[in-house]
Amino acid sequence: MTESPTEVLYEDRNLHKGHRYIKKGNTLIPCPSSVDPLSLEADQELIHVLDKQMGRLVIEWDASWVTKSGFGVRSAEAEAMRLVSKNTEVPVPEVLFTDFSADGAKMETETEEPLKPNCHAPKGLIAMTIIPGIPLQKKWDSLDDEAKESTCLQLWDLISKIRNIARPQELEGPYQCAADGSPSRDPMLEDLQKPVRPLTSDLELRARIYERYLHCGGSRYKNQLLDMLPQSERSVFTHADIAPRNVMVDEQNMVTGILDWESAGWYPDYWEYAQIMRPAFWGDWSVWMEKTAPQRWDLEGINASRKVLF
Protein backbone atom coordinates (compact mmCIF):
# COMPACT_ATOMS: atom_id res chain seq x y z
CA MET A 1 0.00 0.00 0.00
CA THR A 2 1.37 3.42 -0.99
CA GLU A 3 1.41 6.06 1.74
CA SER A 4 0.01 9.50 1.12
CA PRO A 5 2.84 11.92 0.23
CA THR A 6 1.83 14.15 3.18
CA GLU A 7 1.67 11.32 5.69
CA VAL A 8 4.63 10.89 8.06
CA LEU A 9 5.46 8.77 11.08
CA TYR A 10 4.51 10.08 14.52
CA GLU A 11 8.01 10.92 15.74
CA ASP A 12 9.46 13.94 17.52
CA ARG A 13 11.50 14.92 14.47
CA ASN A 14 8.29 15.24 12.41
CA LEU A 15 6.55 17.51 14.93
CA HIS A 16 7.10 21.23 14.37
CA LYS A 17 6.25 24.08 16.73
CA GLY A 18 3.03 25.87 15.83
CA HIS A 19 1.83 23.12 13.47
CA ARG A 20 -1.37 21.10 13.75
CA TYR A 21 -1.71 17.45 12.77
CA ILE A 22 -4.25 14.68 12.62
CA LYS A 23 -2.80 11.66 14.39
CA LYS A 24 -4.05 8.20 13.45
CA GLY A 25 -2.22 5.31 15.00
CA ASN A 26 1.45 5.96 14.43
CA THR A 27 1.06 8.41 11.54
CA LEU A 28 0.57 12.16 11.16
CA ILE A 29 -1.18 14.22 8.51
CA PRO A 30 -0.91 18.04 8.40
CA CYS A 31 -4.18 19.56 9.56
CA PRO A 32 -5.80 22.85 8.44
CA SER A 33 -6.67 25.25 11.25
CA SER A 34 -10.36 25.07 10.28
CA VAL A 35 -10.76 21.40 11.28
CA ASP A 36 -13.03 20.82 14.28
CA PRO A 37 -11.81 18.07 16.66
CA LEU A 38 -15.42 16.85 16.96
CA SER A 39 -15.49 16.15 13.22
CA LEU A 40 -12.67 13.60 13.36
CA GLU A 41 -13.13 9.85 13.19
CA ALA A 42 -13.05 7.84 16.40
CA ASP A 43 -9.49 6.63 15.81
CA GLN A 44 -8.12 10.11 14.99
CA GLU A 45 -6.73 12.79 17.30
CA LEU A 46 -6.08 16.46 16.60
CA ILE A 47 -2.75 17.60 18.01
CA HIS A 48 -1.26 21.09 18.09
CA VAL A 49 2.44 21.48 18.86
CA LEU A 50 2.59 24.43 21.26
CA ASP A 51 6.31 24.31 21.97
CA LYS A 52 9.38 22.27 21.12
CA GLN A 53 12.79 23.13 22.52
CA MET A 54 15.63 21.78 24.66
CA GLY A 55 14.39 18.20 24.34
CA ARG A 56 10.90 19.07 25.56
CA LEU A 57 7.62 18.85 23.70
CA VAL A 58 4.33 20.57 24.62
CA ILE A 59 1.27 19.27 22.76
CA GLU A 60 -2.42 20.18 22.92
CA TRP A 61 -4.68 17.16 22.36
CA ASP A 62 -8.12 17.58 20.75
CA ALA A 63 -8.28 21.18 22.05
CA SER A 64 -9.06 19.81 25.51
CA TRP A 65 -5.84 18.97 27.38
CA VAL A 66 -2.06 19.37 27.18
CA THR A 67 1.00 17.17 27.69
CA LYS A 68 4.52 18.34 28.46
CA SER A 69 7.12 15.62 27.95
CA GLY A 70 10.80 15.00 27.39
CA PHE A 71 14.16 15.63 28.99
CA GLY A 72 14.09 17.73 32.13
CA VAL A 73 10.37 17.26 32.81
CA ARG A 74 10.37 16.35 36.52
CA SER A 75 7.92 15.48 39.24
CA ALA A 76 8.86 18.77 40.95
CA GLU A 77 6.91 20.72 38.29
CA ALA A 78 3.76 18.68 38.84
CA GLU A 79 4.14 18.98 42.61
CA ALA A 80 4.45 22.77 42.29
CA MET A 81 1.15 23.04 40.39
CA ARG A 82 -0.59 20.75 42.88
CA LEU A 83 0.76 22.79 45.80
CA VAL A 84 -0.42 26.10 44.34
CA SER A 85 -3.81 24.69 43.35
CA LYS A 86 -4.38 23.18 46.79
CA ASN A 87 -3.33 26.20 48.84
CA THR A 88 -4.32 29.26 46.76
CA GLU A 89 -6.77 30.55 44.18
CA VAL A 90 -3.94 31.35 41.77
CA PRO A 91 -5.01 29.93 38.39
CA VAL A 92 -2.69 27.10 37.31
CA PRO A 93 -3.17 24.01 35.13
CA GLU A 94 -4.72 21.04 36.91
CA VAL A 95 -2.46 18.00 36.81
CA LEU A 96 -4.41 15.11 35.25
CA PHE A 97 -1.70 12.45 35.45
CA THR A 98 2.05 12.09 35.28
CA ASP A 99 4.47 9.45 34.05
CA PHE A 100 8.06 9.44 35.25
CA SER A 101 8.54 5.71 34.65
CA ALA A 102 11.68 6.39 32.58
CA ASP A 103 13.23 7.74 35.80
CA GLY A 104 12.22 4.71 37.82
CA ALA A 105 9.02 6.26 39.17
CA LYS A 106 5.54 4.84 38.79
CA MET A 107 2.60 6.42 37.01
CA GLU A 108 0.74 8.89 39.21
CA THR A 109 -2.92 9.21 38.26
CA GLU A 110 -5.17 12.12 39.24
CA THR A 111 -8.20 10.97 37.23
CA GLU A 112 -10.04 7.66 37.33
CA GLU A 113 -9.58 6.86 33.62
CA PRO A 114 -7.04 9.25 32.08
CA LEU A 115 -6.71 9.31 28.31
CA LYS A 116 -2.98 8.88 28.03
CA PRO A 117 -1.55 9.68 24.56
CA ASN A 118 0.69 7.11 22.93
CA CYS A 119 3.84 9.20 23.10
CA HIS A 120 7.35 8.58 24.29
CA ALA A 121 8.66 10.52 27.29
CA PRO A 122 12.32 9.66 27.86
CA LYS A 123 12.46 11.57 31.13
CA GLY A 124 8.97 12.51 32.14
CA LEU A 125 5.44 13.47 31.12
CA ILE A 126 2.85 15.73 32.72
CA ALA A 127 -0.73 15.86 31.44
CA MET A 128 -2.72 18.92 32.45
CA THR A 129 -5.76 21.03 31.72
CA ILE A 130 -5.68 23.98 29.33
CA ILE A 131 -5.53 27.51 30.71
CA PRO A 132 -7.74 29.83 28.61
CA GLY A 133 -6.44 33.04 27.06
CA ILE A 134 -3.35 34.01 25.11
CA PRO A 135 0.25 34.57 26.25
CA LEU A 136 0.87 38.07 27.57
CA GLN A 137 3.96 38.16 25.35
CA LYS A 138 1.69 38.39 22.29
CA LYS A 139 -0.25 41.37 23.68
CA TRP A 140 2.21 43.34 25.76
CA ASP A 141 3.52 45.74 23.12
CA SER A 142 -0.01 46.73 22.11
CA LEU A 143 -1.15 47.60 25.65
CA ASP A 144 -1.40 51.20 26.84
CA ASP A 145 0.18 52.33 30.12
CA GLU A 146 -2.99 51.78 32.14
CA ALA A 147 -3.34 48.19 30.93
CA LYS A 148 0.35 47.48 31.55
CA GLU A 149 0.11 48.78 35.10
CA SER A 150 -3.06 46.80 35.77
CA THR A 151 -1.57 43.57 34.46
CA CYS A 152 1.59 43.97 36.55
CA LEU A 153 -0.40 44.72 39.70
CA GLN A 154 -2.45 41.57 39.09
CA LEU A 155 0.74 39.56 38.83
CA TRP A 156 2.22 40.95 42.03
CA ASP A 157 -1.04 40.12 43.82
CA LEU A 158 -0.87 36.52 42.58
CA ILE A 159 2.81 36.34 43.55
CA SER A 160 1.93 37.48 47.08
CA LYS A 161 -0.51 34.57 47.36
CA ILE A 162 2.13 32.11 46.14
CA ARG A 163 4.63 33.46 48.68
CA ASN A 164 2.17 32.79 51.51
CA ILE A 165 2.00 29.04 50.87
CA ALA A 166 3.05 27.25 54.05
CA ARG A 167 6.09 25.02 53.69
CA PRO A 168 5.18 21.31 54.05
CA GLN A 169 6.52 19.80 57.25
CA GLU A 170 8.68 17.31 55.36
CA LEU A 171 10.55 20.20 53.70
CA GLU A 172 11.39 22.12 56.87
CA GLY A 173 15.10 21.31 56.58
CA PRO A 174 16.31 22.87 53.30
CA TYR A 175 16.47 26.65 52.98
CA GLN A 176 16.28 26.33 49.18
CA CYS A 177 14.94 23.40 47.14
CA ALA A 178 12.47 22.52 44.39
CA ALA A 179 8.77 22.02 45.13
CA ASP A 180 9.26 18.33 45.92
CA GLY A 181 12.39 18.85 48.01
CA SER A 182 14.84 17.92 45.24
CA PRO A 183 17.83 20.17 44.42
CA SER A 184 17.18 23.24 42.28
CA ARG A 185 18.36 23.19 38.67
CA ASP A 186 18.90 26.93 38.54
CA PRO A 187 22.32 27.50 36.91
CA MET A 188 23.24 30.00 39.63
CA LEU A 189 22.74 27.36 42.32
CA GLU A 190 24.09 24.24 40.64
CA ASP A 191 26.52 22.45 42.93
CA LEU A 192 30.06 21.88 41.68
CA GLN A 193 30.34 18.83 43.94
CA LYS A 194 28.70 15.41 43.78
CA PRO A 195 26.59 14.34 45.51
CA VAL A 196 24.72 17.63 45.60
CA ARG A 197 24.94 19.40 48.94
CA PRO A 198 21.65 20.74 50.39
CA LEU A 199 21.34 24.49 50.90
CA THR A 200 20.25 24.92 54.51
CA SER A 201 20.81 28.65 55.04
CA ASP A 202 21.08 32.01 53.32
CA LEU A 203 24.83 31.99 53.89
CA GLU A 204 25.19 28.61 52.15
CA LEU A 205 23.15 29.88 49.19
CA ARG A 206 25.32 32.99 48.80
CA ALA A 207 28.43 30.87 49.17
CA ARG A 208 27.17 28.58 46.36
CA ILE A 209 26.72 31.55 44.01
CA TYR A 210 30.15 32.88 44.99
CA GLU A 211 31.74 29.46 44.41
CA ARG A 212 30.23 29.25 40.94
CA TYR A 213 31.29 32.84 40.20
CA LEU A 214 34.93 32.01 40.89
CA HIS A 215 34.70 28.68 39.07
CA CYS A 216 33.43 30.40 35.92
CA GLY A 217 36.26 32.90 35.92
CA GLY A 218 34.79 35.78 37.88
CA SER A 219 37.48 37.98 39.39
CA ARG A 220 36.33 41.59 39.49
CA TYR A 221 34.32 41.15 42.69
CA LYS A 222 36.12 38.15 44.17
CA ASN A 223 36.67 40.03 47.45
CA GLN A 224 33.24 41.70 47.60
CA LEU A 225 30.64 39.45 45.95
CA LEU A 226 29.66 37.45 49.03
CA ASP A 227 28.63 40.67 50.79
CA MET A 228 27.17 42.26 47.64
CA LEU A 229 24.58 39.49 47.24
CA PRO A 230 21.16 40.12 48.85
CA GLN A 231 20.78 38.62 52.30
CA SER A 232 17.56 37.11 53.62
CA GLU A 233 16.73 34.58 56.31
CA ARG A 234 13.23 34.15 54.84
CA SER A 235 12.60 31.42 52.25
CA VAL A 236 9.25 31.52 50.42
CA PHE A 237 7.53 29.57 47.67
CA THR A 238 8.55 31.06 44.32
CA HIS A 239 7.64 30.49 40.67
CA ALA A 240 11.14 31.66 39.65
CA ASP A 241 10.31 32.23 35.97
CA ILE A 242 7.48 34.78 35.84
CA ALA A 243 7.66 36.25 32.32
CA PRO A 244 5.17 37.33 29.62
CA ARG A 245 5.56 33.98 27.83
CA ASN A 246 4.32 32.16 30.97
CA VAL A 247 1.37 34.44 31.76
CA MET A 248 -2.03 33.94 30.11
CA VAL A 249 -4.52 36.81 29.79
CA ASP A 250 -8.00 37.27 28.34
CA GLU A 251 -9.37 39.95 26.01
CA GLN A 252 -9.83 42.33 28.97
CA ASN A 253 -6.18 41.78 29.99
CA MET A 254 -7.16 39.89 33.11
CA VAL A 255 -4.64 37.23 34.09
CA THR A 256 -6.21 33.81 33.50
CA GLY A 257 -3.28 31.64 34.53
CA ILE A 258 0.43 31.17 35.15
CA LEU A 259 2.27 28.38 33.33
CA ASP A 260 5.65 26.58 33.39
CA TRP A 261 6.33 25.73 37.02
CA GLU A 262 9.47 23.67 36.35
CA SER A 263 11.72 26.11 38.27
CA ALA A 264 9.34 26.62 41.19
CA GLY A 265 10.37 25.90 44.74
CA TRP A 266 11.57 27.46 47.99
CA TYR A 267 13.93 30.40 47.49
CA PRO A 268 15.03 33.55 49.35
CA ASP A 269 12.19 36.07 49.38
CA TYR A 270 14.00 38.35 46.92
CA TRP A 271 14.39 35.63 44.27
CA GLU A 272 11.12 36.22 42.37
CA TYR A 273 11.94 39.91 42.06
CA ALA A 274 15.50 39.13 40.95
CA GLN A 275 14.27 36.69 38.28
CA ILE A 276 11.71 39.17 36.97
CA MET A 277 14.39 41.85 36.70
CA ARG A 278 16.60 39.73 34.45
CA PRO A 279 17.53 41.35 31.13
CA ALA A 280 14.49 40.82 28.93
CA PHE A 281 13.62 40.81 25.26
CA TRP A 282 9.98 41.84 25.61
CA GLY A 283 10.24 45.59 25.75
CA ASP A 284 9.49 47.45 28.96
CA TRP A 285 7.80 44.62 30.87
CA SER A 286 10.45 44.44 33.60
CA VAL A 287 10.36 48.25 33.87
CA TRP A 288 6.65 48.14 34.66
CA MET A 289 7.07 45.22 37.03
CA GLU A 290 9.68 47.24 38.93
CA LYS A 291 7.42 50.32 39.02
CA THR A 292 4.59 48.30 40.53
CA ALA A 293 6.65 46.04 42.81
CA PRO A 294 5.52 46.09 46.47
CA GLN A 295 9.16 45.73 47.53
CA ARG A 296 12.53 46.20 45.82
CA TRP A 297 15.92 44.68 46.52
CA ASP A 298 19.47 45.70 45.67
CA LEU A 299 20.49 43.33 42.85
CA GLU A 300 24.05 44.56 42.30
CA GLY A 301 25.55 41.26 43.43
CA ILE A 302 23.04 39.14 41.48
CA ASN A 303 23.68 41.12 38.29
CA ALA A 304 27.45 40.91 38.74
CA SER A 305 27.11 37.12 39.07
CA ARG A 306 24.90 36.81 36.00
CA LYS A 307 27.43 38.56 33.79
CA VAL A 308 29.87 35.76 34.55
CA LEU A 309 27.55 32.77 34.89
CA PHE A 310 25.40 33.32 31.79
What domains are defined for the chain? 8-129 (3.30.200.20), 134-309 (3.90.1200.10)
Question: Worst-scoring range by mean pLDDT, 99-108, 158-167, 222-231, 273-282?
Answer: 99-108
pLDDT score of 32 more than 60: yes
Cis peptide bond N-terminal to 114, omega within 30: no
Which uninterrupted H or E stretch holds 146? helix 145-163
Distance separating alpha carbons of residues 30 and 36, to the nearest angstrom? 14
pLDDT at 119: 43
Higher pLDDT, 66 or 104: 66
pLDDT at 145: 97
Task: Say which residues have a Cβ less than 8 Å from residue 125's Cβ, sequence separation at least 6.
Answer: 67, 68, 69, 73, 98, 99, 100, 119
Distance separating alpha carbons of residues 254 and 252, to the nearest angstrom? 5
Are the CB atoms for 229 and 302 separated by under 8 Å? yes
Distance separating alpha carbons of residues 185 and 233, to the nearest angstrom? 21
Distance separating alpha carbons of residues 236 and 273, to the nearest angstrom? 12
pLDDT score of 103 more than 60: no
pTM of this prediction?
A: 0.88
